[in-house]
Each structure stands twice: as C-alpha cells, then as structure tokens.
Structure 1
Amino acid sequence: MDLNLSAVTRPVERLMATAQNGFEVLRWGGLETGAVPSPFQIVENKPMYKLRRYFPPDSRPGQPSAGPPVLMVHPMMMSANMWDVTRQDGAVGILHEAGTDPWVIDFGSPDEVEGGMERNLTDHIVALNEAIDAVKEATGQSVHLAGYSQGGMFCYQTAAYRRTKDIASIVAFGSPVDTLAALPMGIPPNLGAVAADFMADHVFNRIDIPGWLARTGFQMLDPLKTAKARLDFLFALHDRDALLPREQQRRFLDSEGWIAWSGPAVSELLKQFIAHNRMMSGGFVINGQLVTLSDITCPVLAFIGEVDDIGQPASVRGIKRAAPAADVYEVMIRAGHFGLVVGSKAATATWPTVADWVRWQAGQDSRPAAIAPMQDNTAEPDESGVALSARLMHSVAEASELALSLARGAADAVVNANKSARTLAVETARTLPRLTRLGQINDHTRISLGRIIDEQAAGAPNGEFLLFDGRVHTYEAVNRRINNVVRGLIGVGVRQGGRVGVLMDTRPSALVAIAALSRLGAVAVLMPADADLEEAVRLGGVTEVITDPGNLEAALKLPVQALVLGGGESRDLNLPGDSNVIDMEKIDPDAVELPGWYRPNPGFARDLAFIAFNSVGGVLAPKQMTNYRWALSAFGTASAAALGRGDTVYCLTPLHHQSGLLVSLGGAVVGGTRIALSRGLEPDRFRAEIRQYGVTVVSYTWTMLRDVIDDTVDHSLLLRGNHPVRLFIGSGMPPGLWLRTVDAFAPANIVEFFATTDGQAVLANVSGAKVGSKGRPLPGGGQVEVAAYDPVEDLILEDHRGFVVVAEPNQVGVLLARPWGPIDPTASVKRGVFAPGDTWICTEYVFRRDADGDFWLLGNRPLLIRTARGVVFPESVTDAVTRINAVDLAATYGAEVPGGTIAVTAITVRPGMTVTAADLTDAFAAMPVGPAPDIVQVVAEIPLSATYRPTASTLRADGVPKASRNTWHLEPDTGKYKRLTAAGRARLCGTDDVSDTED
C-alpha cells in the first residue's frame, strides 16, 4: 500500500516543485539563493569608472594591514560583478582568504552613463592607468593586474602604456594577444582581418552593441553547450537543492552579467587589435601615444583554456613574442572561456593558483607546480591555435558521444585546405586595383602626391597616417595642415608651376611642405643639407626656399627668400628686422583669400613635380621627376609590397632622397598605410622604433641595414621572429648583406627594386627567391627589353636589316625602355630599334636576363672595366664576392697600369673573420658571365655615399694595391688566387720595379 502511495505522490510533488520553481524563475529571473555579496568600499568614483576595494582593512578586525593588492579588470561586455558571482567560490572571496588585497575596477554600463556610448578603447586604458595610481597610493605597494579576456588585453596595453611602472605582475585569463593566430569559429585570419576592418569602418562607427546582443553573441560561440545547459536546468527544475549552487552563475551568464558596448570602443578594438593585430606588431595608439607590448618588463602569467574558442592557446601565447623582455609563464586548464574565471574549475584551480603566484612574486613561496614557463609558440601564423577538429569534438561531446572520428576527419580537412589560396586571394584583391589604375594613367591624367593624400583623407579621415617621435597624426589632420600651408604659400606669392626649394630635416613639416607644393601645382626642389646649396638653387631655378629652424642659418646665406615652417615649440627665430625671411607659422590661413586661378591638385601625369639631386663625380646633377614618375614608384611599391592599412612603412632615408620620396612616402600614401619617419639610422633607435611604431615594412638603400645587422649590442630579443617586420623594400642591397638580413629578421623577406632616374625602366624582385636579382618588369610600368651587346667593342648588336637584336638568355645586353610621357632631355633616345618608327631609351645599364626571365645587373656601361683578359662587369664581381660570409663591403673599379687597365676589388672583412684565397677562387668561379678581377685587397674602410652606397673614387686614386698579406692576384692559367707579392705586382703593372714590400 505504501509503495503504491509513493508512486502516486512523488510525481505530484515533483510536478509541484517544478511549477513552484519555474514560477519563481519566470517572475524574478531566477531562484532566490540567499547569497550576500562580498563587502567593498568605493575608493574612486569617476564618470569613467568606479574603483572598488573588497574587504577593506577597516572591516577586517585583527589584521593590521592588507596583503599584496590585486586589481581585477573585467572586459567591456561583462559586468564587474563577475569577480564576485559567488562569495565562497568567487575571485575576490578566494583571494581575500588567501591573504591578498582584492580591488576591482568597474567601468559600469555605458548605456546608463551620460556620454557612455561615446567611450573608446583609449578611455578604458586611461581609466585603468589612473586606477593603478590610486591603488598604489592607497596601499604603498606595486599592483598585480588581473584581467579576464579583453580585461587582460587592457592590462597588457596599460602596462605597456605606463612602461610597467608600479606593476608587480600581470595575470591574464584567456586574453588574446596574437589575434590573427587563432580567430573564433576557425575564421581564416586574412578573412577575419578584412571583415574586422570593414566592421570597424562601416558598422560600429554607426551602431552600438546592447547587452542582450553581447550575451547572445557569446552564447552563439558554443550553441550546443548553451542548449545543453538550458535543458539540464529545465530537467532539474524540480530539484532546488541541486540548482542553488550554480544558480548565481546561471543568472549571471543568462542575464545579469552582460552590459552594452559602445560603438567607438568596439570599432577601435576591431581595427587596432584584430584587423591590424597591433598587440603583436606594436604601434597601437593610446591617447595619441604609440605603444608597444615590448615595453612590458614585469612577470606575466597567462591562463589558457584547452577548449577556449575565444582566447585560443595560439593567440594567448602570443604574449611570449610580443613582450620579449618579460618573464612569461602559463597555466593550462581544461575549461572553456568563462570557465577559466567562474565555476568549479576556477574555484579549485584558477584562483588558488593566482594566490600562489602572488606569494611567489612577493618572495614568500617557491614557484607553484601548476605554473610553467611559456614556450615559444610554433603554430603556423595563419592556423587556428585550437584546431577546428578539437572545437567540433568538444561541442559534439556535449550533445552525444557518437561520430567523433568522423568529425575529426572532416574538421582536419577544413583546416588544411589551401591556406595559400586565401592569402593569394586577399593580396590579389588589394593589388589589382592599383595596377589597373597605374595602367590607366596617361599624359592628361590628374595624378599627384597631394591628390592621393586628399583621396585617402576623404576615404579614411581618422586613419592613422604619420608617425614621428612617438606620436601619431591622422590623414584628416595631416591633410588639414597641408591645406593651411597651401594658403600660406599662396599668401607669400607662390604660384602654380613655381619652383620652391625644400631644405628641411626629416620631420612632419617636411612631408607637409612637399605635399603642399604638390597640391598647389608647384615644383618641390629637394635640397640635401650637405650639398652645394647655392648650386642647387641655381640648377633648380629656385625662387623661394622652405626651411625649418634647424636649417635657417644655411638658408639665410642663399640669394632667395626663406620661408620658415615647423619647429614645434621652437618658434622664437630671433630674426633681424631686415632679414629676407617669412615665418610661415605666423600666417593665419583663414585670412588668406584664395585667388581665382587656384585649383587644388591640378597636376597632370606629364607635369614636372619634383627635382632631386645626385652627385656624379663630385658634381651636383639635377634629376627631374614628373607626377607619373612618382606615381609609377608609389603604385609599384604599394603593389609589390602588398601594402594595406595594417602596415607601417619605416622611412629611414631623408625625404629629399628619391627612396624616401618615391618608395617610402609614395608607397605608404598609395597603400593607405602609416608612414613612420625616423630622425636617422642608429641601431638602438631602429630597434626601439620598429617595436614602438609596429613597423611591418622597412625601406632601405644599398648597405643602410649593415649597421643594424652588425651592431654589437645583443639584439636577440628583437630578432629571430620577435619583431613585427615582414618586409624590407629598397634598392642596391649586396647579396651578402641580403642573406644576413633575412637570416637575422626571419621570416621577413626582401623586395629589391631597380629603377632608372627618369622612371622609364622599373624592375622588382618581389619573391626574393633569387638573391641579388633585380627581378622582372613591374606590372603596369613601362615596357623594357635587353638589347644584345658586345662589351669589347662597346656596340649594341644589330641584325642584317639594321634592327637591334634581342639578347638571348644569359647573354650580355643593354637595358632599353620604351618611353612613357615626357623624355628627359639628357636621355639617350633611339628610334627604329625593333620596328620601324618605334622609340626606345637606352638606359646605359648592362644586364643579363636568365632563362626564367629575371634580370641581373652587371654594371653601368661607361664604368665597365676593359682589361687584357676581357671586360670585367663590376656589379657581377661585387655580388659574387659579397656572398662570402666573411666579406662585409666590396667595391670593384679599374686601376690604370702601363699599357692598359686592371680590375681591382676592395673588400672589408667582418670582425673576427678572415677571407682566404680559396674563398675568392670559389666565389668568382660561380660567376655566370665575365672574368674575375685581377686583384682583390682587404682594406680598412670603404667610403659610403650619403645613401650608403660603397664608393671607389678614393680607392681608385690610390692606384694599384701594394703587395701585402691581405692582397691576392689572379693567376690566369689556373684561375686561382694567390697572395700578391712585390714581384707579382710588378708583372701586373708591366714594370721591373719590385721595390714594394709587404706591409
């Protein structure tokens, strides 16, 4: 009878309990648990944040002082109450019981604060920065920062912003650093970057994210787990005792824990730290200041969830490379994203480990067993850290134990499918429009530096453009400054077509001056400070000179009016009353009335835009550049380097140099990238700035990078992957230095350009596969051809009809270019070359083209060395000898001897290394064309030009090298090198004088 009654009453009781509990959930949002929140005191109350101190000292009788302070930081989408979901199992309660002093920064819900939905990411960093100061002042101790998810990102960013001042350590829970290493849901990194950039620019600049949407998005990352949790709750709704221990956590995740995101903050997060991944590269902007995680020097502990789809292991471990100066540790926990900080795993593993970490950092205990040094992340940069197979299996396991092997196989197939195809698609989509536009330029196309900057400012006014001295300037700000300077130039009488000298150090005002002249339609005459300035004024037809305060003294000596621009706070010029100087900074641009003739950016492609100067044999030579010449290099650089908005181009050369103007500035402007201007090449500055600016592309000329590569300071923290550089781009790098550079900066690549001064011929080695090659003709550029050439007779070869013969593969030839636009008056023009009536320019450069179609420079036609053994090609010889690992610099030149010329190669040797005769014999034996030099000598120094090009003029003036231990001569009969003796030198010189002895 009792059994029958129990069978009836138990279902009824269960039904009634379910109904009662369900009614309570529907009415109040959850079950009443009777839990009391942990006590806290509001120490700071500001519009941006409140600073809570939990269990303040006055509420803890018998404890004279608090322990080490731990300041906890919540992500933007979650309430600060996440640290106290349950008093017994929550972060603040456990840390308090362990003897620490828990603090929490509460950013509040922005939709409930006046102006809250206008908050950006910088506001949160500045607020946390102030909170750290407040905790330090209140406790007198350095602060341990602890941040969950994006809160951990805030901790990293703030620590870098304040250069780790007053920070004892950082503890981050599932906080992504290398965001593109592992995006949620297995999203490909290239697609994710593009999508994030689009969303930042076109979605979240218009809308915000309410709390309910943040909650829904979080739950959709693991829909099976969310559905399972809700079903489990419904099935257990009759059992109140079973539900209560997890009720507060359930209510937090289902409703109470989510707050709104402001659109500007989301937009900045997407752009800086996902699309551009600048926590890894450096160069993110906080309060106008450029910041890099490499400035973090305090210990770091990263908690990693094995099945965390948001803060995936590969992404979290990025902190190891991003902060190479910090001691970085990790703890791996079998948990998802939220489970790292709330729940049973967090209560038993996470927070006790954090307490142990704090004690260890305070010197009170040894390193906890669960904490291990973080290893370098070896995952592929474009492959998810949590394999898609692992994520699928984890989700499937929540619902069923079936078909795991099938899920694993299918997921692995998705992960491994054509990563290179994704990369190619993105780069093609970026490059093709530039090449198409370049190919459409004709004489009457309006194109100029000023116009392209105008276009970029209209398309992305808040886009970061100019970096200098640790500060950032947007396209809109730079463009506005350019327009103001244009008004100033008009106000002092400069007109379209006028020639104005620019005598300025590398600085933002120099870029602005050059761009303003372009926008006005005037010609910028770029004057190097170390040149003969009066001669530059005469050759350039200069009527005014724009200068900065640092070059004003030199400008005052010139017979033209000086216009002073820039100088920052140094505006007291102390000018005499009768000086021929105008301070441009004192001109009110709004007071200048624009004349009727002014049209912004009037320049056609055919118009002269710039005049630069080269020194040829000590004589200053002007080089005219049209807008097309500028556009060809600018679009070519942007295309060859695949520049995008996530890149930062580092300009090491002065803007008056063609590399700075055409490659660095031109490529950056066309690519819509940031350009970082350097005050000069110094190894220490280089290492600091590439991190601070997040440099991805470095421009160079000739041997410029040699000082950086060979600097004796230990730069192991910078190199071997611990740097943001992906590409070096420039011209003239010797093969030996090329090899050392790619070794030191692996996995960065090198794009080597070759371009004639007039821009009619442009080659680019984009792949970098053939070290030393100048590559192939740039798509969209002019047509080039190699004319067969007899170097002995110095004749371009013709066929029986009188047309020029095209050189066969690996045959010596002269590079010809089919002209586009205006032809330089000094150019060597040839007509009827390959067909009746055609026109070509002879560049005077000698090349060979290999069987694959790649071009190799052999030398300049007038500088080929004609010896008794044949014609020696200087560039080929120099390239060969610099491939010897011990060789630093090299220069090949002709030395006159009685009855002819001999070829001499001078080399310098890297410290601690030696060169042998066998090294030389092997190196020159590998040359594909031309004989080896007659003499090779080791010299103490090879002079470098202002562009870091090795020069031989001083060495040539010294004549034939003397016999010494470090001088070798070629034995023609054997093809081997032997040490040069006095007798051997006498034979080479054709004399009987053997008076020279070994030095």
Structure 2
Amino acid sequence: MNFPPITKNIASWQVRPCMVDYAKTCAEFSWDAVRAELAGLPDGGGLNLAHEAVDRHASGPRARHLALRWLGKDGSVRDLTYADMAQGSARFANVLRSLGVGKGERVFALMGRVPELYFAALGTLKNVSVFCPLFSQFGPEPVWQRLSRGDAKVLVTTKALYEKKVSTLRERLPKLQFILLADAEDDLDAGVRSLPKLMSAASDQFVISPTSPEDMALLHFTSGTTGMPKGAVHVHQAALTHFATGRYVLDLHPDDVFWCTADPGWVTGTSYGIFAPLLHGVTNLVDEADFDAERWYRLLQDQKVTVWYTAPTALRRLMRIPGEPRTQYDLSHLRLIHSVGEPLNPEAVVWGQQALGLPVHDNWWQTETGGIMIANYAAMDIRPGSMGKPLPGIEAAIVKHDEQGLEVIQESNVEGELALRPGWPSMFRAYLHDEARYAKCFVDGWYLSGDLAKRDADGYFWFVGRADDIIKTSGHMVGPFEVESALMEHPAVAEAGVIGKPEPLIGQLVKAFVVVKAGHAADDALCNELIGFGRKRLGPAVAPKEIAFVESLPKTRSGKIMRRLLKARELGLPEGDLSTLEND
C-alpha cells in the first residue's frame, strides 16, 4: 500500500525547528562551522568528546541544569546535573589513571543502564582511553570474542554479570588486567576490584590530556557474516556528527527532555543515548527497565518527554495494543518521535500520526557511520517508508560496482548499493586488526554500505534490503557465523546454518538449520535442548528461536554455507543462481 505524504505546518508550532529550509542549510553547511561551535580543550589542547559533552557545560551557565535523570526498575530516581556528571566522570578517569590505564587502551563495559555506565563512558574518554560498550544480554562466548578481539585491559561490570558471564573467561583473556564491579563493596582479589571503593578514594577533579580529534575514542563491535565480530574504530572528532545530528535530526533545544530507548551496548545507545543529548546540554532520560507499554506511556507523560528516539520493534509492540494512547495519557509535551535500528514500515509512521498525534521519523545509519546519515527532519514532509534525505554535509548516492569499477546511478527509482562520500567526522577509521576488510569498504572514492536502496526524483532515499546475511532482530544485529559456531559446540550438532526469518513483531527471528551427528535423535527434546543451549551461550537476543533438522546444508564448492539458499527455501522464494552449489 502506498501512503500519501505527511505534510508539516511549522507555522503553528510552539518550537521553531532548528532547520526550516533543508536546501539552504545544505548549501551553507560546513563541518568547520560545526567545529567552531564546540569549545575545544583549554590552551589549544585539541578536541575531547567527554569535555564537549559535560565539562564545557559544567563550567558554564548550565552547570546546575539536569543532565541525566535515571529511573530505576524499583521506582527509584537519581538526578545528575552537568556538574555532577563532570565530577563523576572525573573520578572514573582518576581511577583509570591510578590503575595505570593509558591513552588508547581499551575499557569495556558490560552492564545495564545504570549511572556508573555513563560515568565510565565519559571518564574513559577523559583519560583518552577507548570506551567499548557490550550488550549486557550477551552470553559468555560473544563477550569473550569482543574482549579478546578488542584487547581489553579493563572491564566494568556487576557482580551478577561477572559470575554468570566473565569469571570462567579470565584464563582465556591474559590482557584483561582489571575487572571493576560497580556494585561490590569490597575487592574480590587483586584483579577484581570494587568500583565504589575506588571512586570514593578518587578526586572529582581531572585535567584532560591533549587530545587529537583523530585519537581513538570508541570501539563498537558489529557482527559479520563470517569470522569474529568486527571492531569499528571511532575517534573524538565524531563529536561533530553527534552535535550536528542532535541539532538537525533530533531537533534538540535547550529545555528539551530527550529519551533514547536504545541500550548503550549498541552504537545507538552511545551516540544518541549519551553523546548527542549531552553535547546539546539537554536533559537525558535513562530508564533501567526493559520494555513495558504502560511504563513507557507513563514515562512519556510523567517525565514530559519532548523528543523520543526508539526502535521499530517497540513501535510495533505498541501498535498491537488496543485503545487510544492519547485518551489515557497526556502526551502533549511530546514534539518529535524518531525511529532507529531497522527500516520502519510505513504503517508505523501513519500509526504514530493517528495514535500519538505525531508521525514517526525514520532515519538510516550504521555502526560504521557512527551517526545518522539520512533522515526525515522536523520541518520536512514525510513520505512513509522512506529513510528521508542526507544530513547536511553528507553526500549519498546509489551505485553499482563490479570488476570494471563503480558507477553512480543518476536515474531515479533504480535499485543499487547505498554509498557515501568519505570524510564525515564520525566515519569509522578502521576495523581493529583487520586492514584488508576495512579497505574493501571503499571503492573509487565511495564508502559502500552493503545496503541496497533507491532514490526517488525528489531526493528521498528508500531502503530495499541488506546485501549480506546480517540478521536484524528487535533492533539488534546478529551475525549468523557466531550463532552457528556456538551451536556446533553442542555434542549432538555436526553442522549448523543460520538465517533471519521475517517476523512482524521483531523484524526477523533467528532460525537455525542443524545437521545432527550420528547416534543422536533429531527430535523435539533435542530441539528444546539446543534452544536452551543457544540462550545460555549467546544470550536471548542472539540465540535462535527456531530449530529445523536437516540431512545436509547447501554449500558452495569451496565449502561455504549458502545461507541465501536456506532462506529462499524457507520462504518459498526463487533460489537464484545455483552454479556454485556443491553437488547441484
């Protein structure tokens, strides 16, 4: 179904959008002008992301402004001003310095949405170390893969997560020197320390060392279709993109209350759950609890949220609940709704307009881009189903490429690969320890996203599909290879192939096709055992939700599993070219 455009009448708005004229803003835009709006470190010390996010506000008129309001699962509330955030992050930076953690060394965080996570993120950057967030629902094996690949020196976590997911990994992680427990009163041993004790002994003042805009700041892992997860390297200069997107996409104003529902274990939860709102000096809302429709609506109402950034999965869940939210809850403060994580179906855009009184603004970006690249903007008409138009300062194109080179497609509504002109501030600078893979992302002066899209005659971009096998489930990126590898550790499993199967509520569910070893029965009991095994090893967000037993897996002659063929057969789609199929 084609939905008509949703037009905007900004003349009636109480808050004027930051960007009213898209074409004019793009024509006049420069990254140098964005850089000039940030303070920089004193005495020409460079650019530090944490300094821009908290210290420059803490030393100015917004020092007592509410920076972070934390809502606990148990109903508790903790308010932190920009001065509080500056002091807490300074204490953490001093903790790192006291432990001998230096510039460029990796500090990982494996924990839920608690205030200590935000102090750790900002304090790590103040120390010019590298912050590496992990999703708290990962199982032990994904945790080990990322800590090992990322050369972890420090891990910040909780007692429960340490015992459940980390304690058995220590012998396999010789570079991991310190584990800091955010909720432990005393040290467990010389390598497992109480973070509260260390923080209480640390000074709340810290002088940030000179920081180059190109110094490594963040390491975000993204799953690949083969091999270990990829570590995308981002630098302090990413602050410019976070600031620009906070203004032009999120449309942040000084008195806004902003809520990003993404977990900081994913790139959205750091770029837009930490940095973008703090860079703009607004109030950032953090909810510790998981999704609950009534809780979310009450939070929007009681906290007077003005700008809300959530995921299609959550919106689809809300859409399934009968009733009219606006008759049950006061959502009058809500000004903008944004969606991230996977393509947003047009029905959700229209549902927002009908049920919440506001359309949902979809946007597109990746772990590798570090920030939003294409978006629907506050003052721009929305075409439901479209990603929108490129951010000012971003050049996007639809391209086709082969052994002969790359061609930019000039015609409208022609499918091709979505590409970006390199050079934006938050562009990833490397895949850690994998220069060859990084080089393959760039062809003839373009970054190739791996996503298929098209552009209409008016410059709106439309997502078509992923060019590889990455599975997007409930807003999470799942690599088939890591799921297959975990399943094959079960004594009954000979081989496994994993695909994403469309599921309306969560986007895709993870389905595994398993070849059983001789002597094991491929029955319901084994199916249930494998699902439980997968959840224990990988965590519920990554583990397969369906298992199918097969006699063999389709492979190429070189031995690679043909996941696209598994998916085509599962969904009854054309099987395509089978010329490389083994024993075809």
Common fold, TM-score beyond 0.5? yes
| Letter in structure 2 aligned against 1:438 | V
| Letter in structure 1 aligned against 2:455 | R
What is the match of residue 69 of structure 2?
A: 467
What is the match of residue 300 of structure 1?
A: none
What is the match of residue 458 of structure 1?
A: 59
What is the match of residue 770 of structure 1?
A: 383
What is the match of residue 438 of structure 1?
A: 34
- d(CA) in 1 for partners of 2:119, 2:70: 13
- d(CA) in 2 for partners of 1:858, 1:754: 12
- d(CA) in 2 for partners of 1:672, 1:952: 41
Distance 1:474 1:955, change over 3 A: same
- d(CA) in 2 for partners of 1:987, 1:844: 22
Alignment map for 1:17-166 (pairs within 5 Å): none
DSSP 3-state at the match of 1:606: coil
- d(CA) in 1 for partners of 2:209, 2:275: 16
What is the match of residue 49 of structure 2?
A: 448
In 1, are the aligned partners of 2:156 and 2:179 still within 8 Å (CA)? yes
Following superposition, the deviation at residue 587 of structure 1 comes to 3.0
Alignment map for 1:718-729 (pairs within 5 Å): 718=328, 722-729=331-338
- d(CA) in 1 for partners of 2:573, 2:123: 61
Alignment map for 1:341-490 (pairs within 5 Å): 423=16, 437-438=33-34, 446-459=47-60, 460-469=62-71, 470-490=77-97
Pick from 175, 195, 211: which aligns with 1:603?
Answer: 211
What is the match of residue 143 of structure 2?
A: 533
| Letter in structure 2 aligned against 1:848 | K
Distance 1:908 1:763, change over 3 A: closer
Pick from 303, 314, 317: which aligns with 1:704?
Answer: 314
Pick from 843, 859, 864: which aligns with 2:465?
Answer: 859
Following superposition, the deviation at residue 724 of structure 1 comes to 2.6
- d(CA) in 1 for partners of 2:544, 2:97: 46
- d(CA) in 1 for partners of 2:574, 2:278: 58
Following superposition, the deviation at residue 496 of structure 1 comes to 1.6
| Letter in structure 1 aligned against 2:353 | V
| Letter in structure 1 aligned against 2:107 | V
1:554-596 CA-partner distances (Å, limit 9, x unpaired): 34334234443544xxx545x55x45212122236676699xx
| Letter in structure 1 aligned against 2:110 | L
Pick from 599, 613, 620: which aligns with 2:221?
Answer: 613
What is the match of residue 397 of structure 2?
A: 785
DSSP 3-state at the match of 1:804: strand
| Letter in structure 2 aligned against 1:784 | A
What is the match of residue 676 of structure 1?
A: 285
Alignment map for 1:766-845 (pairs within 5 Å): 766=377, 767=380, 769-780=382-393, 782-787=394-399, 789=400, 795-796=401-402, 804-820=407-423, 822-824=429-431, 825=435, 826-829=437-440, 833=444, 839-845=445-451
1:223-248 CA-partner distances (Å, limit 9, x unpaired): xxxxxxxxxxxxxxxxxxxxxxxxxx
- d(CA) in 2 for partners of 1:947, 1:695: 31
Pick from 675, 679, 687: which aligns with 2:297?
Answer: 687
1:35-90 CA-partner distances (Å, limit 9, x unpaired): xxxxxxxxxxxxxxxxxxxxxxxxxxxxxxxxxxxxxxxxxxxxxxxxxxxxxxxx
In 2, are the aligned partners of 1:726 and 1:749 still within 8 Å (CA)? no
| Letter in structure 2 aligned against 1:856 | W
Alignment map for 1:232-247 (pairs within 5 Å): none
What is the match of residue 557 of structure 2?
A: none
TM-score (norm 2): 0.66
Distance 1:904 1:555, change over 3 A: closer
Matched, 1:849 2:455: yes
Following superposition, the deviation at residue 722 of structure 1 comes to 3.8
Distance 1:602 1:526, change over 3 A: farther
Pick from 358, 362, 365: which aligns with 1:755?
Answer: 365
- d(CA) in 2 for partners of 1:494, 1:706: 43
DSSP 3-state at the match of 1:632: helix
Following superposition, the deviation at residue 636 of structure 1 comes to 1.1
Which structure exhibits the higher relative contact order, with contacts defined as CA atoms closer than 8 Å and separated by 6 or more residues? 2
Number of paired residues?
A: 455
| Letter in structure 2 aligned against 1:462 | R
Ranges in structure 2 where 5+ consecutive residues have no aligned partner: 1-8, 72-76, 171-175, 473-479, 481-498, 507-533, 552-571, 577-584
| Letter in structure 2 aligned against 1:637 | G
| Letter in structure 2 aligned against 1:845 | D
Following superposition, the deviation at residue 604 of structure 1 comes to 2.8
Following superposition, the deviation at residue 455 of structure 1 comes to 1.3
Alignment map for 1:589-668 (pairs within 5 Å): 599-600=207-208, 602-617=210-225, 620-629=229-238, 631-668=240-277
- d(CA) in 2 for partners of 1:803, 1:652: 38
DSSP 3-state at the match of 2:137: coil
What is the match of residue 492 of structure 2?
A: none
Using the TM superposition, name which of 534-543 and 637-646 deviates more: 637-646
What is the match of residue 552 of structure 1?
A: 162
- d(CA) in 2 for partners of 1:859, 1:605: 34
Following superposition, the deviation at residue 842 of structure 1 comes to 1.9
In 1, are the aligned partners of 2:156 and 2:181 still within 8 Å (CA)? yes
DSSP 3-state at the match of 2:383: coil
- d(CA) in 2 for partners of 1:986, 1:730: 29
In 2, are the aligned partners of 1:434 and 1:635 still within 8 Å (CA)? no
In 1, are the aligned partners of 2:91 and 2:202 still within 8 Å (CA)? no
Ranges in structure 1 where 5+ consecutive residues have no aligned partner: 1-380, 383-417, 790-794, 834-838, 865-873, 876-892, 894-902, 911-942, 960-984, 990-999
- d(CA) in 1 for partners of 2:202, 2:387: 51
Following superposition, the deviation at residue 952 of structure 1 comes to 9.8
- d(CA) in 1 for partners of 2:287, 2:236: 25
DSSP 3-state at the match of 1:843: strand
- d(CA) in 1 for partners of 2:260, 2:229: 24
Pick from 107, 124, 127: which aligns with 1:500?
Answer: 107
1:249-307 CA-partner distances (Å, limit 9, x unpaired): xxxxxxxxxxxxxxxxxxxxxxxxxxxxxxxxxxxxxxxxxxxxxxxxxxxxxxxxxxx
| Letter in structure 2 aligned against 1:564 | L
DSSP 3-state at the match of 2:384: coil
In 2, are the aligned partners of 1:485 and 1:589 still within 8 Å (CA)? no
- d(CA) in 2 for partners of 1:986, 1:668: 44
- d(CA) in 2 for partners of 1:665, 1:527: 15
1:945-981 CA-partner distances (Å, limit 9, x unpaired): x99999999589889xxxxxxxxxxxxxxxxxxxxxx
Matched, 1:739 2:350: yes
TM-score (norm 1): 0.40
- d(CA) in 1 for partners of 2:459, 2:544: 31
- d(CA) in 2 for partners of 1:526, 1:909: 26
Following superposition, the deviation at residue 529 of structure 1 comes to 2.5
- d(CA) in 1 for partners of 2:504, 2:232: 32
| Letter in structure 1 aligned against 2:283 | R
Distance 1:684 1:957, change over 3 A: farther
Identity %: 17
Following superposition, the deviation at residue 476 of structure 1 comes to 0.7
Distance 1:472 1:750, change over 3 A: same
In 2, are the aligned partners of 1:503 and 1:545 still within 8 Å (CA)? yes
What is the match of residue 521 of structure 2?
A: none
In 1, are the aligned partners of 2:48 and 2:126 still within 8 Å (CA)? no
Distance 1:784 1:723, change over 3 A: same
DSSP 3-state at the match of 1:827: helix
What is the match of residue 126 of structure 2?
A: 519
- d(CA) in 2 for partners of 1:629, 1:796: 31
What is the match of residue 587 of structure 1?
A: 198
